[in-house]
Amino acid sequence: MKFLFSCMLLIVSQLAVAQNNFGKDRHVQRIAFYNVENLFDTKDDPHTRDEEFTPTSEKQWTQERYEKKLGQLNQVFAEMNYPNIIGLCEVENAMVLVDLLQETKMKKENYNIIHYESPDFRGIDVSFLYKKKCFKVLQKDIIRITFPESIVKDYTTRDVLVVKGILHKKDTVHFFVNHWPSRRGGLKQSSPKREYVAAQVRLKVEEIYAENPAANVILMGDFNDEPDNKSIEEVLIAGTPLYNAVGEADAAGEGTYNYRGNWNMIDQFIISKSLTEREEGLRLIDTYILRADYLFYDDKKYGKTPTRTYGGPRYFGGYSDHLPIYMDFYQG
């Protein structure tokens, strides 16, 4: 028993060292994902339904509010010690990312941007930021989602962004950035849309593994489903060499989105099982939910809740209605 307790202390100590020494230990690679809740510029794009995020709209989305949001996001990334890789969703266009990276400290980190315009009717996309010194892009592409009429008619959603590259001059990694269709209309009624997206992502994952069974795959995103929902558990993961890195946190009642007092783990990392099993090379240390105090407010009815930017047309001036997640890998 004393030996087991000592081992547990050693593991906790190692995790703490990795957490505290990020940025100092070149062997620790940090990867983050954040749903930034409607990062729009203030201009009206005639090709999308973004007019609610303009100065003259009911929301009164002004330049001052936009710049405040950029500063808040910089604060969050600083809190995470500026991860080497950042996946984002609910980003309007590449220019808002350019503006974000002009924030003083973000600029010093020398990030680069991968972004494609998706057909989402609101004009929100997924994006990928990476430090140029830490990641070399080999390939980048999208999975365009076109739903059959048997599932839904005249509905567009976000692309899935797929980036292949070399992490810190050593390991080749395939990244997927996801933002699956929302639960609007109800969980059961909307589930077929997410199941369809899951099937398309799985096809691409299987293609990667067919070419290289030892491939490093990291899926991140707002899946709008939890680890035990059908789209994730039965369609995407079942029968594949994938592991849900937030599964244990979900089972413990943790989450990234507070829906009427219930914490939902809809922001997730799903990775190659080999990244959790190997003793050498790139391997997972742990996964975290960022819970800085400034990301919350105390809701009288639902308790501690992420402080959002808007609730309908009401401006609250918060960070996001989601919490950020990140993971550390040791790269020996």
Residue 326 lies in a domain: yes
How far apart are the C-alpha atoms of 2 and 6, rounded to whole Å?
Answer: 6
CATH number of the domain encompassing residue 167: 3.60.10.10
Residue 250 lies in a domain: yes
Asked whether the predicted pLDDT for residue 315 surpasses 50, the reply is yes
What is the separation of C-alpha 117 from the centre of its chain, rounded to a whole number of angstroms?
17
Q: What is the pLDDT of residue 12?
A: 43
Task: Dump pLDDT digits (tens) for 150-172.
Answer: 999 999 999 999 999 999 989 99
Q: What is the pLDDT of residue 19?
A: 57
Task: Over range 282-302, report the average pLDDT.
Answer: 96
Segments forming the whole domain that contains residue 231 = 28-331
Strand pairing report for 111-115 and 135-143: unpaired
Q: Is 148 exposed, middle or buried (0-12, 13-18, 19+ CB in 10 A)?
A: exposed
Band (pLDDT 50/70/90 cuts) for residue 244 is very high
Q: Report which of residues 8 and 202 the model is more confident about.
A: 202
Asked whether the predicted pLDDT for residue 62 surpasses 90, the reply is yes
The DSSP 8-state label assigned to residue 236 in this structure reads I
Residue 156 lies in a domain: yes
The distance in angstroms from the start CA to the end CA of the chain is 31
Residue 58 lies in a domain: yes
Contacts made by residues 39-44, CB under 8 angstroms, sequence distance 24+: 39/69, 39/73, 39/88, 39/90, 39/91, 39/92, 39/96, 39/100, 40/66, 40/92, 40/96, 40/123, 41/66, 41/92, 41/93, 41/95, 41/96, 41/99, 42/66
Number of domains making up the chain: 1
Residue 266 lies in a domain: yes
Q: What is the pLDDT of residue 280?
A: 86
Asked whether the predicted pLDDT for residue 223 surpasses 60, the reply is yes
Six token digits for residue 65: 């509010």
Asked whether the predicted pLDDT for residue 3 surpasses 90, the reply is no
Band (pLDDT 50/70/90 cuts) for residue 25 is low
Output the average pLDDT for the chain. 92
Asked whether the predicted pLDDT for residue 291 surpasses 90, the reply is yes
How far apart are the C-alpha atoms of 18 and 234, rounded to whole Å?
Answer: 33
Six token digits for residue 231: 């789209």
Task: Over range 7-36, report the average pLDDT.
Answer: 65
Residue 17 lies in a domain: no
Residue 109 lies in a domain: yes
Helices in 21-126 by DSSP H: which ranges?
63-79, 94-101, 104-109
Asked whether the predicted pLDDT for residue 7 surpasses 70, the reply is no
Residue 112 lies in a domain: yes
Task: Over range 306-330, report the average pLDDT.
Answer: 97
Task: Over range 323-329, report the average pLDDT.
Answer: 98
Task: Dump pLDDT digits (tens) for 97-155.
Answer: 999 999 778 999 999 999 999 999 999 999 999 999 999 999 999 999 999 999 999 99
pTM above 0.85, yes or no: yes
Residue 52, helix vs strand vs coil: coil
